[in-house]
Amino acid sequence: MKPSITSLIESLPATIPFVAPESIERRTGIPFTVRVGANESAFGISPRAKYAMDQAVNTISHYNDPESNDLREALATHHKVDTNQISVGAGIDDLLGLAVRTFIGPERIAVSSLGSYPTLHFHVNGFGGTNHTVPYLPNGFNDLNALADAAIKQAASLVYLANPDNPAGTWFRASDLNAFVNGLPDSCACILDEAYIEFAPEGTAFPMGDLDPRIMIMRTFSKAHGMAGARIGYTIATPEIITAFNKVRLHFNVNLIAQAGALASLKDLDFVAGVVSSVQQGRNDYEALAQELGLSTLPSATNFVTFDAGTQQRAQLILNALAKRGVFIRKPGAPPLDRCFRVTVGTDQERQDFARILPQVLSEIDAAIA
């Protein structure tokens, strides 16, 4: 007696996109006291969002609005787009799944950078498609020419690009992306993952007016708005793509508290500006620290800094040694960036702790390697 799992699901590996810090803590028994690995915000949430979420707990017995109507209207005003161009989801992870489900299936190919956001690859595999990847450039930038070439040669149905990039932190000006988008095949959809856009210089965000029918811009409240645990993000695209999402999305997936918090946070842009400024300070601190220690860093327009350890081995040893001392970081998994490790801008205390522990770890490792 054995229920018949589909051959697609049977064929998938039992891997998951991310191992959570909680899972690592359970495995090692060492608690993380400096949590700078998941690009969570060290600067909390807007007091308005806090108030709205507290109030929302009082009405939690009611279902959430499956259309996220109030939030979508506010986002439409904010971005000067139509409400029917917006789909709200339980974080970009959810929205990536919808985009992949809409454009990928058996015999369809998604193009992305090798070592880019693993949940994208997870969804492509999960919906029976094929991931075709091209390496990052050695300097940590996505290779736009190679991505566009691959999209053409593979007759890809979907291209994924994070701008600013995760895990590198690098970014392109929107005007430079225009040429990239124009070079994609007519039938190839394009995800622009702008999870970190608030931290980037002006001119980075892709213009939403008169949007190319192939583009899906994805945004989140997890980073600058500080609401990672609430699970809420959104996609801006043409009404045709949003209609496709509506045909399959989990309509009640965005919980009531997240909707209330996001709506309130969207109206507190001063708070977000303060976070962005604190993050800038934190990146400066990390860059100064790296310079002191003779490490280079990749340029970053995000809430993290990617340190160059020189070799994959050294980067991995640094990550392991930090974990033993209660410091949670992550590192890129594929060459050429696997020589790097990625550190989130933490609180003042976390940055001080990190600045104290990293030199110890480096001395120890370099003594052992030498």
Q: Within positions 320 to 359, which residues make up the interface with a copy of itself, using CB under 8 A? A: none
The answer to whether the CB of 251 falls within 8 A of the CB of 276 is no
Residue 342 pairs in a beta bridge with 306, 330
Minimum distance from CB of 123 to a copy of itself (Å)?
9
Among the listed residues 134, 244, 323, 362, the single contact to a copy of itself using CB under 8 A:
244
Among the listed residues 140, 169, 261, 346, the single contact to a copy of itself using CB under 8 A:
261
Residue found by looking up tokens 């018949």 in the block: 4
Separation CA 181–CA 14 (nearest Å): 34
Minimum distance from CB of 202 to a copy of itself (Å)?
25
Among the listed residues 112, 133, 204, 253, the single contact to a copy of itself using CB under 8 A:
253
Residues 181-200 that bind a copy of itself (CB under 8 A): 186-190
Among the listed residues 115, 140, 167, 226, the single contact to a copy of itself using CB under 8 A:
226
Measured between alpha carbons, how far apart are the two ends of the chain, in Å?
58
Q: Which of 184, 233, 171 is nearest to 213 (CA)?
A: 184
Residues 69-88 that bind a copy of itself (CB under 8 A): 69
> Could you say whether residue 211 binds a copy of itself (CB under 8 A)?
no
Give the total residue count for the chain.
370
Binding segment for a copy of itself among 134-142, 165-173, 247-255, 322-330 (CB under 8 A)?
Answer: 247-255
Which are the contacts of 77, defined by CB distance < 8 A and separation ≥ 6? none
> Could you say whether residue 210 binds a copy of itself (CB under 8 A)?
no
Our CB check for a copy of itself shows the closer of 13 and 29 to be 13
> Could you say whether residue 241 binds a copy of itself (CB under 8 A)?
yes
Q: Which of 225, 257, 222 is nearest to 58 (CA)?
A: 257
Separation CA 70–CA 72 (nearest Å): 6
Our CB check for a copy of itself shows the closer of 240 and 292 to be 240
Residues 297-316 that bind a copy of itself (CB under 8 A): none
> Could you say whether residue 6 binds a copy of itself (CB under 8 A)?
yes
Binding segment for a copy of itself among 165-173, 199-207, 257-265, 351-359 (CB under 8 A)?
Answer: 257-265
Our CB check for a copy of itself shows the closer of 124 and 317 to be 124
Among the listed residues 87, 102, 220, 344, the single contact to a copy of itself using CB under 8 A:
102
The answer to whether the CB of 319 falls within 8 A of the CB of 300 is no
Among the listed residues 30, 60, 269, 273, the single contact to a copy of itself using CB under 8 A:
60
> Could you say whether residue 104 binds a copy of itself (CB under 8 A)?
yes
> Could you say whether residue 147 binds a copy of itself (CB under 8 A)?
no
Our CB check for a copy of itself shows the closer of 170 and 344 to be 344
Separation CA 126–CA 119 (nearest Å): 10
Per-residue interface string for the shown chain with a copy of itself, residues 7-46, x marking contact by CB under 8 A: -xxx-xxx-xxx-x-xx--x--------x--x-xxxxxx-
Among the listed residues 48, 67, 135, 208, the single contact to a copy of itself using CB under 8 A:
67
> Could you say whether residue 93 binds a copy of itself (CB under 8 A)?
yes
Minimum distance from CB of 119 to a copy of itself (Å)?
8
Residue found by looking up tokens 């070799």 in the block: 311
SS3 235: strand
Separation CA 182–CA 257 (nearest Å): 39
SS3 142: coil
**Sheet of 109-113: strands edge to edge?**
86-89, 233-236, 215-220, 189-193, 158-162, 109-113, 130-134
Largest CA distance in the chain: 64
Within a 10 A sphere around the Cβ of 47, how many other Cβ atoms?
12
Separation CA 254–CA 240 (nearest Å): 21
Minimum distance from CB of 63 to a copy of itself (Å)?
5
DSSP annotation of 154 reads T
> Could you say whether residue 101 binds a copy of itself (CB under 8 A)?
yes
Our CB check for a copy of itself shows the closer of 243 and 311 to be 243
SS3 131: strand
